[in-house]
Amino acid sequence: MVENLSAGIDTFTSNAFLVGGERTVLVDAGADYDVVSRIEERTDGLDAVVLTHTHPDHVGNLDDVKTAFGVDAWGFDASQPGVDRGLDDEGEVRIGDESYTVLHTPGHKNDHVCLYNERALFAGDLVFANGGFGRTDLEEGDRRTLVESIERLESRLADGLGVMHCGHGPSVTRNPVEDVRLARQGAKTR
């Protein structure tokens, strides 16, 4: 089960995906709304928070979640505020009932990661539906690095990928690898 707890929220926030199963995990915490009550409505507890990156719209609710559920936050750079445990590039992380490979994908932010397996991808702000891609005009943003990260991600994905959960906007459930290809093309030419 994967549910976007930010759905229907009328404020600037990232998506926050609650993934149920053997290890109940929140992928990104969102910002500026009561995500804790939304988690409590759906599950008895939380095992961890996994962050795609530490921009404020992805971690604004992080302290509230950690306090309410007594959990650690996992992110690529454990020196970032709120991150308790580091994720390793090419390492594995358990989310729900599945293992995901961690892929360090800077360009939007230095600590950005994507989490993927052959069925699902948590893309954070690297790529979006319809070939969108992350901003590079913010601190730590770099277009060339972003393109390299998209290319690296694209080279890892299987054509059978079933779903891509993005940091903003809708999840892609129909041929998400094509959306990644379009993002690479767009990032190279714009």
Per-residue pLDDT of the chain (190 residues; tens, 9 = 90+): 999 999 999 999 999 999 999 999 999 999 999 999 999 999 999 999 999 999 999 999 999 999 999 999 999 999 999 999 999 999 999 999 999 999 999 999 999 999 999 999 999 999 999 999 999 999 999 999 999 999 999 999 988 899 999 999 999 999 999 999 999 999 998 6
CA dihedral sign, ordered 31, 149, 140, 130: negative
- CATH fold of 2-189 reads Metallo-beta-lactamase; Chain A (3.60.15)
The pTM (predicted TM-score) of the whole model is 0.97
Predicted pLDDT at 158: 84
Residues 166, 170: Cα–Cα separation, whole Å: 7
Give me the torsion for CA of 44, 1, 4, 49, rounded to 10°.
60
Predicted pLDDT at 190: 64
Q: What is the DSSP secondary structure assignment for residue 164, as one 8-state letter?
A: E
**Residue 125: both structure tokens together:** 């702000």
DSSP of 80-125 = STT--EEPPTT-EEEEBTEEEEEEE--SS-TT-EEEE-SSEEEEET
Sheet holding 120-124, edge to edge: 92-95, 98-104, 113-116, 120-124, 163-166
Radius of gyration (Cα) for the chain, nearest Å? 15
DSSP of 32-87 = SS-HHHHHHHH-S---EEE-S---HHHHTTHHHHHHHHT--EEES-TTSTT--EEP
